[in-house]
């Protein structure tokens, strides 16, 4: 979300937008998964993955 748009609908960036985005980033870093995501990946069982993409339309 940006706070100000010009008459043609283009975004005019403001310091309020910068601070809002910074606040969202800080909020994410306080979530459990932001800190432990690599550990969550490392602690699970191994599983096979597909090495080729399936054919689409034929």
Instruction: Please check whether residue 51 lies inside any domain of the structure.
Output: no
- pLDDT band, very low/low/confident/very high, at 40 (cuts 50, 70, 90): low
Domain count across the chain: 1
pTM of the model: 0.36
C-alpha 5 chain-centroid distance: 24
Mean pLDDT of 32-38: 57
Instruction: Please check whether residue 53 lies inside any domain of the structure.
Output: no
C-alpha 54 chain-centroid distance: 27
3-state secondary structure of 5: strand
Give CA–CA dist 21/1, Å, rounded.
9
Residue among 8, 7, 26, 10 at smallest CA distance from 18: 26
Instruction: Please check whether residue 48 lies inside any domain of the structure.
Output: no
- Phi and psi (nearest 5°) for 17? -65, -40
Instruction: Please check whether residue 18 lies inside any domain of the structure.
Output: yes
Instruction: Please check whether residue 31 lies inside any domain of the structure.
Output: yes
Question: Can you give the residue range of the structural domain that contains 39?
Answer: 4-43
Instruction: Please check whether residue 17 lies inside any domain of the structure.
Output: yes
């Amino acid at each position: 979300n940006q706070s100000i748009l010009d008459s043609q609908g283009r975004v005019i960036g403001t310091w309020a937008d910068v601070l809002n985005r910074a606040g969202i980033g800080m909020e994410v870093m306080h979530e459990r998964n932001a800190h432990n995501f690599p550990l969550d990946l490392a602690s699970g069982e191994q599983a096979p993955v597909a090495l080729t993409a399936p054919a689409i339309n034929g």
